[in-house]
Structure 1
Amino acid sequence: MASKRPLKICCGVTFLLILLLGITLVILYFTLLKPKQPKVEARAVTLENIEFGLFPVVNLNVTLGLVLLIRNPNVASFKFSNSTAFAYYRGVEVAQSPVPEGRIAARGSHMVSTRVVIVADKLVTNPNFFGDILKGSLFFTSISEVSGKVGLFGIVKFRAMSSTSCEITVVLPGGPVNSTCNSAVKF
């Protein structure tokens, strides 16, 4: 009977160590490792080119230059693959733009710059277009989804998707461009 006592002590100590390790991991997750949403700032949204003509045919070409700063507040890095950003005018897709692959370091930031050439036919045929021109501003929405891998201390890796939505107002003619961006991460 005396030989079972050390076994019970060993099992009890092992259970307490596993319990302590579990509590420590839960505390770490909710304090340090809990995923936080990246912050996206539009550093520069420039109107690079605009051509507008009414006669003999309605002609419109708009080129926007977008420079976004993405801040990663997490303790994990995010490596993403090539993707595409879409621009919408009043709910209708009017442009696509490539987003090159990259990596955002843990608690770091990354600049993404791209050019968006807007398809004039889809823009001009929108029933709100001429009313917005007369008001002096155009309203766009830019949406991009980037998928990649999150690396924690170079050991743990799992898939994640980051989506960004920007509301962009272009003041005509050649005025400032205002934007507001929101982002979210799905694991």
Structure 2
Amino acid sequence: MAERREQEKPLAPATPAIVFVEKLTPFPAAEFISRRRKRCLKCCGCSAALLLIIAVTTLALMLTVFHVKDPAIKLNSVNIHGFDKLSNNTNALAGFNLTLVAGISIKNPNAASFKFDEATAGVHYGGALVGEARAPAGEAGPRRKRRMDVVVDIMVDRLVGVSRFESDYAAGILPLSAFARVKGVVKITEVIKRSFVVKINCSFSVDFRSQVIRDRSCMRDLSL
């Protein structure tokens, strides 16, 4: 009977489970976003400043070092030798030539050399070509001026073949015109380079008696 009562005795309640609830720290969203935004602004600012520096430097180089300027040609002097032997006697002039020496200069304003091919020159009288010559190829250094003498043989038989020669000889004044043509290239880099053809046309008069060049006038031309 006693055993039966013990069996009917209610069981002790189970020990309640202890649940630990961890207190989560709130996520610092605002602070994180603020820091990230500052980093992005700094990165964008540095990139923009770098791009600006590159753009300004490139522009400065394009306007200075990389800017290709036009070369110029100039006639500095003209001298003609042999006028003391010139006469209106056609028979005495057979095989006789005058020598014209033209001093020209090529100015190169660029930061790279202006390399030019063989130059051509000629002399006209009364619309007829009475002499021509070629000058050797060369180079005008960076921001330098290259001087050269072009020697042209004027064929007197062509001079006397012009209808106005006798009247000009009697007046003692021979009007001539001369030209020079130079073709070359300015090469800054393999990509930045330009070709030029510089030309000059001059007119002048030669005094037979004093052998002085008078009324010299020149016009320069440039083509790409």
4+ residue segments displaced more than 4 Å: 13-32
More helix by share: 2
Structure 1 residues not aligned, in runs of 5+: 1-9
For 1:40, which of 74, 77, 92 is the aligned residue? Answer: 74
Higher relative contact order (CA 8 A, sep 6+): 1
Which residue does 2:106 correspond to in 1? 70
Which residue, 44, 49, 59 being the options, matches 2:82? 49
Write the letter of the residue equivalent to 1:106: P
Distance 1:29 1:38 in 2: 21
Q: Which moved more, 1:176-185 or 1:136-145?
A: 176-185
TM-score (norm 1): 0.75
Secondary structure of 1:130's counterpart equals helix
RMSD, aligned CA: 3.6
Q: Percent identity?
A: 25
Given that 1:163 and 1:183 are in contact with CA atoms closer than 8 Å, whether structure 2 keeps it comes out as yes
The structure 1 residue matched to 2:130, chosen from 91, 94, 113, is: 94
1:14: how far off? 8.8
Q: How many residue pairs get matched?
A: 185
Q: In 2, Cα distance between the equivalents of 1:136 and 1:18?
A: 70
Q: Give, in whole Å, the separation in 1 of the partners of 2:176 and 2:59.
A: 43
Separation of aligned partners in 2, 1:89 and 1:14: 67
Q: What are the within-5 Å matches in structure 2 for residues 100-179 of structure 1?
A: 100-152=136-188, 156-178=192-214, 179=216
How many Å apart are 1:138 and its aligned residue?
Answer: 1.3
Distance in structure 1 (CA, Å) of the matches to 2:173 and 2:165:
10
Higher Cα Rg, which structure: 2
The Cα of 1:160 is off from its aligned counterpart by: 2.0
Amino acid at match of 1:80: F
1:183 has 2:183 as partner: no
